[in-house]
Amino acid sequence: MLTYKNNSFKIELVKSGQLSLTENVRFFLNKIEKNKHLNAFNFVFADDALLKAEEIEGKIKSGKHGKLAGLVIAIKDVLAIKDKPLTCSSKILQNFNSVYNATIINKLIDEDAIIIGKTNCDEFAMGSSNENSFYGPVLNPIDNTRVPGGSSGGSAAAVAAYLCDASIGTDTGGSIRQPASFCGVYGLKPTYGRVSRYGLTAFASSFDSIGTFTNSIEDAAEIMEVISGYDKYDSTSVVEKVPSYKVNILNLKKNLVIGVPTQYFSTGLNEGVKNKILALIDNLKKDFTIKEISLPNMDYAIATYYILTTAEASSNLSRYDGVRYGHRSREYTNLDKMYKNSRSEGFGKEVKRRIMLGTYVLSAGYYDAYYKKAQKVRRLIKNDFDNAFNEVDLIITPVTPTTAFKLNEKSNDPLEMYLNDIYTTSINLAGIPAISLPLSTDLQGLPIGVQVIADSLKEDRLFQFGKFLQDKNLIKRIS
């Protein structure tokens, strides 16, 4: 077991000689080895991590260390790390190595984090169970017969099973929050544009965001403070200055008003999950004002999300053509067949399904009926949130309709799988931040998360509220 609750404690332990960073990294490497069956990692960088541990231990002892000194972190295998594999858990990128660092990787390294490996995920981050990976599924550490959620399933499982201190995931429609909820850890999806996407393999560019899995709210705040900010290499990154999330974590607004949207608690929500979240809301009544709100266009979120993201994906994934990089078929007699065979062999079933759907909704006869209409509904959903945030400071909802489901339970029914994203996709459509906090467990001991949503660029409020709940023992990482 770990003897520290967050990375600031860890730095203190290293400074006072009570913890050796090299031993700490060895502890994680051992755990990774012992938990190979979870399949959480695509690649482990044991030698690099040990070398770094030694170097950073020295820096901590001489007081010249960065903000994340010694934090052992795993990176979802959709982000570029120079000279390391970048596969997106796809056969098409099986032998591809990155030639540069993503901006967030540079930021993590500059603040002395230690990168221990790259985590498994659904192919090109498309999925809700991590079963769509060329490297095989990831198992949920709490119950190995169940999925960890997806698409950042490896990142969630790695933190839940104590294979690292924290991990980086991406969230296009719920891929951080849903696995965090299924595995009982903290998962933050920031405002769209808060974190640079430079070096992130694009799935749906107007939705993709990079965020964290952690054991504590403090670590989430600290990492986000480091990785957020404007980047000249990503024109969609937000120019606004990053506040000190860590310093402000205790400054929760007085007279906070919390909104509870009726639409999120209707049919389809598992009773056990619903009751735990309603019990929390009840508990909060003594400290805050609770207000019922309406998000009337929420019913259209899944359809809108799957039209727009598949459209963007069909365009983004056209670059995998067997010419520039990645897998090239050996079977072809002309250029057209080379493209066709390389893509047919390289992409998995779900990715192909989405490319076809996306190509269809963008085609001349259907563009207006699907793509353009979905863009309009996206605006309506954003308006719903804008209206809600005129009345409330935060919104509380479930993260997922159920706790972690069984492996193979939904893998042959894409629509059933997509319904898992019912409470998460609207947040990406609106581009606002949300966090999944580990609330409790169901009767079978499976984790239940609660989703807290804030207005654009109000991540600090999520950290402050999370800190309040954590200090009151109302939420706690599930072990």
Applying CB under 6 A, the residues found at the interface with ligand GLN are 125-128, 151, 170-175, 203, 309, 421
Cβ nearer to ligand GLN, comparing 24 with 89: 89
> Closest approach of Cβ 62 to ligand GLN, in Å?
41
Cβ nearer to ligand GLN, comparing 362 with 419: 419
> Closest approach of Cβ 151 to ligand GLN, in Å?
4
Residue 258 tokens read as 């919390």
Name the catalytic one among 89, 151, 206, 209.
151
Compute the distance between CA of residue 246 and CA of residue 254 in angstroms, rounded to an integer: 19
DSSP 328-395: --S--SSHHHHHHHHHHHHS-HHHHHHHHHHHHHHSTTTIIIIIIHHHHHHHHHHHHHHHHHHH-SEE
Neighbours of 372 (CB within 10 A): 12
CA distances (Å), origin 301, targets 308, 354, 415, 450: 11, 17, 14, 19
> Closest approach of Cβ 136 to ligand GLN, in Å?
18
CA distances (Å), origin 437, targets 60, 142, 169, 176, 400: 31, 16, 15, 11, 12
> Closest approach of Cβ 173 to ligand GLN, in Å?
3
Cβ nearer to ligand GLN, comparing 103 with 151: 151
Cβ nearer to ligand GLN, comparing 179 with 259: 179
Name the catalytic one among 10, 67, 76, 246.
76
Compute the distance between CA of residue 349 and CA of residue 365 in angstroms, rounded to an integer: 25
Nearest CA among 173, 168, 194, 177 for reference residue 457: 194
Cβ nearer to ligand GLN, comparing 216 with 426: 426
Is 76 an annotated catalytic residue? yes
Angle at which helix 7-15 crosses helix 217-227, to 10 degrees, equals 90
Name the catalytic one among 128, 133, 175, 209.
175
Cβ nearer to ligand GLN, comparing 307 with 392: 307
Compute the distance between CA of residue 209 and CA of residue 172 in angstroms, rounded to an integer: 6
Compute the distance between CA of residue 304 and CA of residue 296 in angstroms, rounded to an integer: 14
> Closest approach of Cβ 247 to ligand GLN, in Å?
30
DSSP 118-130: EE--SGGG--SSS
Is 175 an annotated catalytic residue? yes
Compute the distance between CA of residue 187 and CA of residue 152 in angstroms, rounded to an integer: 10
> Closest approach of Cβ 180 to ligand GLN, in Å?
12
Q: Tell me which residues are annotated as active site.
A: 76, 151, 175
